Structure 1
Amino acid sequence: MSLYPYGCLEQKISKAVALRDRALWKERMRELPAYLDGEGLLKYFPLMRTGSDVLTAYVMAIAHEAGFEIPAALRDRMAEGLAGFAEGRIRRSSDLATADLAVRKVAAVEALSRYGKSKAALLASVAVEPHLWPTSAVIDWIGLLKRTADIPDRAKKLAAAQQILRSRLNLQGTAMGFSTERADGLWWLMVSPDVNAVRTLLAATDLEGWKEDAPRIARGALGRMKQGHWDTTTANAWGTLAFEKFSAAFEKAEVSGKTTASLGSKSSSVTWGYWETPGGGTVRFDWPDRKETLALGHEGGGAPWATVQALAAVPLRKPFSSGYRIKKTVTAVEKKVKSFWSRGDVVRVLLEVEAQSDMTWVVLSDPIPAGSAVIAVGLEPGRGKNAGRAQEAYVERAFEACRFYYRYVPKGTWRTGYTLRLNNEGTFQMPPTRAEALYAPEMFGEIPNPTLSVNP
């Protein structure tokens, strides 16, 4: 998370929470007034006109769970905004043409319940049908019921909601899933099955009737990680807090002794203790010449976790599409020598992306040579009619890349581009150009970039 490149408010907040970095959180709080709209809802980027009930509910909920403070004046404005949204005084349409208003209102009231500001009247316009709701809303409903005392038949409704969640939970060995998983990827609400998995662990740690299931849920949630992380920034933030709470409740025994890993004839150990490696250690092996078995053993107290990771550098040699197909065209605007690039040349980059389905919050990231300057963004004058229906919400001119953020990308093709000045000479090997759905990261596309040589 410390190297996560994108910069909307949700990702900045999630990064601070996942890293448990209070200094970074305070920095985000100093910036927060610029993200508030006139009705108390938070915007993804400061220059946007209206805020989002989804983002505001997330920030308030994750701050409470993390034990991080939102300045009182800002928190009160956000609470007023969410209350107004729940009551219908403040209207925000969904980013997707779907009936999700009840789900969003439940999430808003759940966030308010964490600060003692929820009441049954805020749900007057919501048809309470948790058996028809997505899993994320059922989890919100459980949290809301735990904290809102004036809801009629609260205990009965809480038991019913827990039964609905338990009936959807699928635990087999170390694997964890939900029977509703195919419909639970509400990416426009920043919800994914991984978010539901780690939030289920949070709920199970607090609920008395789930104590026996919590360790299996924890193992299953860990098993959902890919390459050391969950699928979205929100999942990683919630996951960090879930395992922090789980460890406090279920891993109180101090780990001591020695953990040994062996691969073939080679072995290495990590010794536990205050003066050795209280936070754990890393053991590395080179790839063996033939098939070998990795053996792990622990001698001593406690039960440490072991994460096994295999690393191999595989360069991208041809375009890859898993939801987005990218085409990149580079042309010269100003070129000193026709046959090669020189320092000071001006380059025009055109990016064409084909989306295979509708999606909210998509980023298109194109790397630039070190020291280069993006001097203009967007299509050239007169070519705007060919841009497609995707409209940039924000353009980030970073030192290492030019990034285009889109709040909503419909199925089809869109185009954008930028103008670049080559300021440094040298040979530049750049990472792939990548389009990615921020809250459904399995939807992405990449194309490799050739080595670029710039002469004096």
Structure 2
Amino acid sequence: FLLYVLAEVGRVQGKPAGDLGRTVALYEVRDRLDHYGKALLALALHLQDPEGQAERVQALLTDLNNAAIVEATGAHWEEADQDWWNWNTDTRSTAIILDALARLDPENGLAPNVVRWLMVARQDGHWETTQETAWALIALTDWMVTTGELQADYAWGVQLNGRVLETGSFNRETVLDEKVLQVAVADLFRDQANRLVIEKGAGPGRLYYTAHLRAFLPVEEVQPLDRGIIVRRQYCRPPEPGQQEAGTCEPVTTAHVGDLLQVQLTLIAPHDLYYVVVEDPLPAGAEAVDTSLKTSSVVGQAPELRRVDPRDPFAGYGGWGWWWFSQTELRDEKVVLFATRLPKGTYQYTYQVQLGLAGEYRVIPPTAYEMYFPEVFGRGAGMVFTIER
């Protein structure tokens, strides 16, 4: 960081500054640096000697590209260890790396998705720490200057299978507008691939878009799906005291009217997630009766609560992490949980249902998804559950 600051001083003052010798020496041990350290080192090398250090700068950017965690519509970086001394977080690292990409490699294909990830990580107009907020603002400002996004002036068009769906244009007055187009599944080809073409005309500015396909199958044919989140549900008979260890569950698919069953909902977050919604539909002949939903992390290490010191006996209460979910709702047709930020790890939620009406019910699968990145989601299996008299 100090080498980067010295190099920036030279740029601002318009005269040589920094310490190129020490900067190059640090490059030789770059494998010992965190991701954000490599980004700052790349900026320092470029500021001091753009042409002479181009090869080293490119090597650092390649390292960062390879370390990126890319999901459906977002990209970010996660450090191997927490750097408490420099107030660093994964969000801060991601912002610093975006700044390096904006200034050194603006055509990098990761950058737009890094921008989207940072914007979703924002809460109430700011990020979680002052360091995150400061670096995010620096990076996003440099990104907008580089891309000219706010000076948009271009035409756009959308075609599906050769048919024009709509055309339009964006300019400085409409740059924040959005357009939503929908096509019925019945209008798609069934025996060949469907071709969706989204075009941006010449002119400054960036065009951001997402495409989604929704289809419906018989519940019993729906299989689990992992697109960044893993979710699983089981119905079990409540264990008798002392007969089963906590967390064990013997699945059942048949029970009787009046039975009280335990539902275990397991969620695995491979990476930190933001604005997560978990929905668990109920069998039509049952209703949730326990208004307290327990949440526990079952990973075999300090429960990956990235900003909790595992040495602190109060920083996790023995692995329990219910506080990550800011709201839970027991509705007539499903149980719903909301989390503003969910650190990577494995979580288990337990509640009970009362069986009240006999019948054979097709139970819709549980789902979990990021509210602003719906492409990042997981789905459990559909099932048939029988309630006997």
Question: Please, what TM-score do these two structures have when normalized by structure 1?
Answer: 0.41
More helix by share: 1
Question: Please, what TM-score do these two structures have when normalized by structure 2?
Answer: 0.47
